[in-house]
Structure 1
Amino acid sequence: MRHLRALCAIADTGSLHKAARQLGVSQPSLTTQLRRIENFLGAALFSRERTGCRPTPLGRSVLSRARPLVAEMGALVVEAKAAAAGEGGPLLRIGSTASRALAGWLRRLRDRLTGTDISLHMDVSANALLRMVAAGQLDVAFVHEVEGCPLLVPDGLCARVLVDREPQFVSLARDHPAAAAPVVDLADLAHDRWMVDPTVDGEWDGLRRVLGAAGIDPPVLHGDYHTAASLIAVGEVVAPCQPTSMPREDMAVRPLRGDPLAVRLLLFSRPGPSGELYESVYADLTAAYREAALRAAAYRQWLLRHKSPLLAQAEPAPLPAA
C-alpha cells in the first residue's frame, strides 16, 4: 500500500517534490522508491518533464487499479479506528486548508455538538482533502480554490459556497514604500522578490497568471508561508496573503488595486442523511468567517467599500444538536 500511495501522490501533484511533502518523506527517498517500483515492473510509470511528472500509458493503467485500492484501505483504517475509539458514538471529521476562521468555527461546533468527537485534519492541498472526503476519511472539507485553477473534485461530492470571490491581499514590510498607501498597485512591487508556496494547489499558477497579465516578471522564491513571514518583515520578499491576515508591527497587509488575485471558499461533503447537521456546520463556518473578516481592519474596510453582504449577516440562531 505504501508504494501505491506514493504512485497516487506523484500523479495527483504532478511533482516529486510536492508528492514527497504530501507524504511526509524526503524527495530523494521518494525518487528512490519510484525507481525501485519501476525497476520491479520493468518499465517507466512516469515521464520526467521540465513541468513535472506525467504518467506513461503503463502508469495510467497501474493508477487505475491503485486508486480504488488506496481509497478502500483508507476507508477501512478510518472506520476501524472510529469503531475502536467511539464504538459508534457521534463523530465529525473536519478537513481544512489554512484559514483564520478555523478557531471560531471549532469553538462554535464544540458548543453546539456537545458529546460529539470533533477532529481536525489540516493539509496545504485542497485536492488531497477532497479525495479524503470522497474516500470516507473526512466528513467535510473547508478549502479554497484559486481563481483560474479549478480543483479536481471527485465525483459525488456536494459543495456549498462560503465566499464566491475572496480577494487576496499582499503582505510586505512595514517600511516598504508601497505600504504608505491604503491600496497597493502591482506595478509598485515589480522589483520586489515574491515568495509563494508551490505545494498549495493552484497558488503558484494563479500568481504567475496575475503577474504575467500585469506585465511583471519579478524574481520568485518558493517556500512555506511561515518562513515567508520572517523574510517579509526584513524586506526580503513580499507575498500574497489571505485578507483576514492580521498586520504586525514589522509587517503591513494591503489590498491590491483591482483585486486581480482571488480565491473561492467552499465547504465539501458527501451526500447523505445528515442534512441538518451539515446545515449547522455551514452556518457555524459562515459566522466564524465573518468574525475573522471583521477583526482584520484592512479587510473590513474593503468589505465596506464593496458593500459586501457579509457585513449584513447576523450570527445564526442555534440549531438543534445532532
Structure 2
Amino acid sequence: MRHLRVLCAIADAGSLHRAARELGMAQPSLSTQLRRIEQTLGGRLFTRGRTGSRPTPLGHIVVSRARPLVAELAAIVAETRAAAARAADGPRLRIGATASRALPGWLRLLRARVPAVEPSLQMDVSANALLRMVAEGRLDLAFVHEVEGSPLRVPAGLCLRVLVEREPQFVTLAADHPAAARREVRLADLAGDRWMVDSTVDGEWDALCRMLRRAGIEPDLLHGDYLTAYSLAAIGEVVTVSQPTARPRPDLAIRPLEGDPIGVRLLLAARTVAELDESCPELEEAYWEAARQSPAYQEWLRRGTTSTGWSPAHRGPGDDQRVLASGR
C-alpha cells in the first residue's frame, strides 16, 4: 500500500521533487523506491524529463487502479480513528435501523433522557442484516420493518417488541395524477403505471409483485432507491410505495391504497428485555410524533379508529417475543 501511495503522489505532483516533499522524504530515496516498484511490475511507470514526471500508458493503468485502494485505506483509517475517539469519550448506545421518519425524534429523546450515553446510528436497507448484527453484539438495538408475506430471519435468542402490528403502506404519485384526486387510490387506477421499488430492501420487491398480481396487474417494475423514485414520481414517470409517515410535498400526492393491500410490522430488537424497556418508550413517542406530521396518515388513522376500532399495538415487557434456538 505504501508503494501505491507513492505512485499516486508522483502522478498528482507531476514531479519527483514535489512528490518527495509532499511525502516527507528525500528525492534520491523516492527515485530509488520508484525504480524498485518498476522492477517489480516489469515496466516503466513514469517518463522523467525537465518538465517533470508523467505516467506512461502502463503507469496510467496502475495509478487508476491504485487511487481507489489508497482512498479506501485512508477512509478506513479515518473511520477507525473516529470510532476509537468516540469510544474513549464514554458509553454509546449502538442503534441500527431501516429507513424511518421516527429516527431523528428517537435520537433526540434518547439524548435528552440519558445525556451521558451517546446514541450512534447505523442505517441499512436489510432488516435481516441488522438483526444479525444485534445477535453478534455489534449493535445494541435494531429498529426494523418486516414486510408482510416475507418473514424476517430472526437469530435465536433475540428479544422483539412490536411497535406497530401492521403499518399500511401508501402510494406516492404525481400531484396531477388522475388518481391523486381520490381519498383512497384503487390499484385498478394504477394499472397503466410503472412502479419503482428498491429491491435491496428485504421483502419489498416480492410484496409489491404479490400485491399487483392479486389485483390482476402484471407489474411493470423498475429497480431504484426511493429518493430517485420520489423524484421520478413527481414528474409522472413512476409511482412508488411509501411509508405513511412520509411528509407531504407540493409536487407529490401520498395516498392510502384501497383495502390496505400491503403492510409492514415495525419491530424493535435487542438481546435482553431490559434493553427494550430502556429505549422503546422514546421510539414509540417519536413514531407517533412523526405520524402527526403526515395529514394522510392522520386521516387514515381517524377513519380506521372510527370504523373498526383499530389502534396501534402497545406491548409491555410480558408481551415480548424471545426467539429460541428452534426458531421464531
TM normalised by structure 2 equals 0.67
**CA contact 1:96–1:143 (8 Å) conserved in 2:** yes
- Matched with 1:216 is 217
1:306 to partner: Cα distance: 0.9
* Superposed CA RMSD: 2.4
CA distance in 2, matches of 1:241, 1:309: 20
**CA contact 1:195–1:221 (8 Å) conserved in 2:** yes
Cα shift readout 1:130-161 (whole Å, capped 9, x = no counterpart): 11101100000000000000001111111000
CA distance in 1, matches of 2:84, 2:238: 48
Ranges in structure 2 where 5+ consecutive residues have no aligned partner? 1-80, 315-328
CA distance in 2, matches of 1:135, 1:266: 18
1:91 to partner: Cα distance: 1.8
> Is 1:163 equivalent to 2:161 in the alignment?
no
Kindly name which structure, 1 or 2, has the bigger radius of gyration based on alpha carbons. Answer: 2
- Matched with 2:124 is 123
SS at match of 2:299: helix
CA distance in 2, matches of 1:253, 1:233: 11
1:90 to partner: Cα distance: 2.4
- Matched with 1:225 is 226
**CA contact 1:93–1:120 (8 Å) conserved in 2:** yes
CA distance in 2, matches of 1:88, 1:218: 51
- Matched with 2:103 is 102
**CA contact 1:303–1:311 (8 Å) conserved in 2:** no
Q: Which amino acid aligns with 1:287?
A: E
CA distance in 1, matches of 2:131, 2:236: 36
SS at match of 1:309: coil
- Matched with 1:140 is 141
1:279 to partner: Cα distance: 1.3
Tell me which stretches of 4 or more aligned residues in structure 1 moved more than 6 Å.
Answer: 80-84
- Matched with 1:303 is 301
- Matched with 2:267 is 266
1:219 to partner: Cα distance: 1.1
> Is 1:294 equivalent to 2:292 in the alignment?
yes
**CA contact 1:93–1:138 (8 Å) conserved in 2:** yes
Q: Which amino acid aligns with 1:192?
A: D
1:207 to partner: Cα distance: 0.6
TM normalised by structure 1 equals 0.68
Q: Which amino acid aligns with 1:306?
A: G
Which residues in structure 2 correspond to 1:1-322 (within 5 Å)? 85-87=86-88, 89-271=90-272, 275-307=273-305, 308-310=310-312
Task: Check 1:157–1:311 CA distance in 2 against 1; reply closer, same or farther (3 A cut).
Answer: closer
Q: Which amino acid aligns with 1:200?
A: V
1:117 to partner: Cα distance: 2.1
**CA contact 2:165–2:313 (8 Å) conserved in 1:** no
**CA contact 1:290–1:310 (8 Å) conserved in 2:** no
Cα shift readout 1:185-220 (whole Å, capped 9, x = no counterpart): 000000000000000000001111111111111311
CA distance in 1, matches of 2:225, 2:86: 34
SS at match of 2:184: coil
CA distance in 2, matches of 1:87, 1:193: 50
**CA contact 1:172–1:253 (8 Å) conserved in 2:** yes
Ranges in structure 1 where 5+ consecutive residues have no aligned partner? 1-79, 313-322
CA distance in 2, matches of 1:158, 1:88: 29
- Alignment identity in percent? 62
Cα shift readout 1:21-76 (whole Å, capped 9, x = no counterpart): xxxxxxxxxxxxxxxxxxxxxxxxxxxxxxxxxxxxxxxxxxxxxxxxxxxxxxxx
